[in-house]
Amino acid sequence: MTNFKFVELFAGIGGFRLGLDAAGGNCVYTNEWDKYAVATYLNWFPASSVSTEDIRHVDAKTDIPSHDLLSAGFPCQPFSIAGVSKKKSLGRPHGFSDLEQGNLFFAICDIIAIRKPKIVFLENVKNLIGHDHGKTWQVILESLDLLGYEVKHAVINASSWVPQNRRRVFIVAFQRSYFDAEIMQEFTFPTRSEKGPDLSTILETESIDSKYMLTDNLWKYLQEYARKHKEKGNGFGFKLYKPTDTTGTLSARYYKDGAEILINQEGWRNPRRLTPDEAARLMGFNSEMAQSYGFDGKFPQVVSDMQAYKQFGNSVCPLVIAEIGQEISKILLAQQKLKLKLKSGKAIKG
């Protein structure tokens, strides 16, 4: 498998890093500004360094080394259904109008324009495509097109890899000046139609600390909250799962009450939250991946439970990234072979 150099922007805890490493990549630059995510990242990748500078202020010419692939899971809150709804209710701007987070896509474009990576690999919530009646999506496609890239995209559900329904839009854009047109057309996103593992595969088999069980008061509150919204015709409320199920999407707010994914427990009066280790496995940070980085069975938790839940809820599924990365690697290798063939042909003619 070919090796390629990549940078990881909005790195979080390294979801892109894990997947692209597995696909033969070599990370040469990492940027993440959340101090808790940086603590986890440096513990998991101790030989790395992380730039914590605001990506809008990074000097791409001097600070970011040459690379083949730029990866970024840029902040999704300005485009997510929940994020947009909340901001609308508060009268706040969302999407590209959100100056704090929404315009970070353009900061990525500025770096692309300067460093000109062969491939751009982005991830965001599925709602990005329909945000602002499709206008936001059109701006993204046109921006990458004007930068000289052929854009491919797909909405992929991680449920074929992990027991979680997690639909995300993935963008892979190829630099037209580097790739042959026919080779670019050979790229395909991985497709898995089969059902993935069920929840039992990620649940703890040992006894669970009682701190993850819902208190009587919290469980009563969640049931009452759900009842009130059901009467109004809304779908808000807790989600209860058994070991044979596939869960809904784990979000960064999970630490608040765990309501989106509660585990039904036999022999217990109340359900429980996932433990942080279970949340890790639900996202695809599994034992095999941990062992490949020298950890015994799991990635260590170096932050509080609250921060761990936020980190996993904000992450990408590295197993999905790895499969997309493998398809990208095939295209890079095909292009390299073509260039060598053309070069050798010229040499013979000369």
In a 3-state reduction of DSSP, which class is residue 139?
helix
* Helix ranges restricted to H, 116-167: 135-146
Tell me phi and psi for residue 67, to 5 degrees. -155, 160
Strands (E), the chain: 4-9, 25-31, 69-72, 119-125, 149-157, 167-175, 240-241, 262-263
Residue tagged active-site, from 27, 76, 109, 317? 76
- Residue identified by tokens 């997510």 is 80
User: Which amino acid is present at 133?
Assistant: H
Report in angstroms the alpha-carbon separations of 135 from 96, 110, 226, 277: 10, 20, 34, 39
Strands 240-241 and 167-175: unpaired
The verdict on whether 76 is a catalytic residue reads: yes
Closest alpha carbon to 185 in 154, 151, 145, 156? 151
**Helix (H/G/I), strand (E/B), else coil: 236:** coil
Residues 264 and 319: beta-carbon distance below 8 Å:
no
Catalytic residues: 76
